[in-house]
Amino acid sequence: MLNTLGDGFVEAVDDSTLLAIADSQPDQSHGLIRGEAIQVPILEAPGQTRVGRFGWKDQHGSLLSFAADAYVNEMGVTSRLRMVDPTSVCKVTSDPEDRPDALGLADIDHFAQFVRGTKVPPRDTLLATTPDAMAGQKVFESIGCNICHVESMTTAPQRTPVNGGMFLVPEALGNKIIHPFGDFLLHQIGTGDGIVQVGPEDTAAKLRTAPLWGLRTKSRFMHDLASLTLEGAIYRHRGEARRVAHDFRALPSVQQQQLIRFLKSL
């Protein structure tokens, strides 16, 4: 399950910011790391696309599109943006099930607005300010984890039109420095699930860099939840991340433990 807390800030990041990160990665990694940005349809703005940033495969670029998809795929609730159920077995209601309320807003609209009002869990400041965690962040940066797990980016200025012009970045989300510890781009690190959603064929082998903000609230890691420890998750990084993962393995165990302390403060 992907966390949606703080995703309003991610929606407010301009395409150009994500494309610039992708462009900068080969130079930082001797050409090994190249995040892939894909253009995805904005359901509420027919014919318009945007750089995808939500979902395991970056299959959505707006929170409203993401909500409409989740409502129909995960709960069988059709809406004006997703009128067709994947299955009609046991269906007794008529479509769309999600209709506007007295305010003229459907459930998907309220849901998208709700997510825009949330923040990620704050860092564990006690742990984050220990010498070990602070040293660990330096290690994280020096071996290049931050090439994909990007530490900071700035959202678009307020009133910038995004989502095919259907949403203006509000003051509360505009021009904010965020610390997602992710690039929202697709990478091949050897954990690909073989699934293609909106992107081209090569995305079968890729997954979105997991943003590490809020990491301390999780107990299992990676898209398949098959890693029970942070070390285990790091050891599974191969492909584009092979050099960085190799450098982690080559660290003295003191520095490895510092890096883990840092991750546990996120």
Residues that bind ligand HEC (CB under 6 A): 33, 143-145, 147-149, 187, 189, 191, 207, 209-210, 212, 215, 218, 221-223, 230, 233-234, 237, 240-241, 244-245, 248, 263
Q: Tell me whether residue 164 or residue 199 sits nearer to ligand HEC (CB atom).
A: 199
Query: What is the closest distance, in whole angstroms, from the C-beta atom of residue 105 to ligand HEC in the complex?
Result: 32
Going from the C-alpha of 39 to that of each of 23, 60, 136, 207, the distances in angstroms are 16, 9, 35, 15
Whichever of 22 and 72 has its CB closer to ligand HEC, that residue is 22
| Residue with smaller CB distance to ligand HEC, 25 or 163 | 25
Residue 128 Cβ, how far from ligand HEC at the closest point, in Å?
16
CB of 207 to ligand HEC, least distance (A): 4
Distance CA 248, CA 179 (A): 22
Our CB check for ligand HEC shows the closer of 65 and 258 to be 258
Instruction: Indicate the residue among 28 and 88 with the shorter CB distance to ligand HEC.
Output: 28
By C-beta, is 168 or 198 nearer to ligand HEC? 198
Residue 165 to residue 172: CA distance in whole angstroms: 18
Amino acid at 197: Q
Secondary structure of residue 158 in the 3-state scheme: coil
CA distance 214 to 217: 6
Which SS3 state, helix, strand or coil, does residue 40 take?
A: strand
Shortest Cβ 38–ligand HEC spacing (Å): 14
Pairing of strands 186-187, 153-154: unpaired
* Strand partners for 54: 60
Minimum distance from residue 163 beta carbon to ligand HEC (Å): 25
**Least distance in angstroms from the C-beta of 135 to ligand HEC:** 14
Burial 102-117 (b: 16+ CB within 10 A, else e): eeeebbbbebbeebbe
Measured distance CA(28)–CA(47) in Å, rounded: 35
| Residue placing its CB nearer to ligand HEC in the complex, 135 or 166 | 135
Residue type, 219: S
Smallest distance, ligand HEC to C-beta of residue 233, A:
4
Residues 180, 153 contacting (CB under 8 angstroms):
yes
- By three-state DSSP, how is residue 49 classified? strand
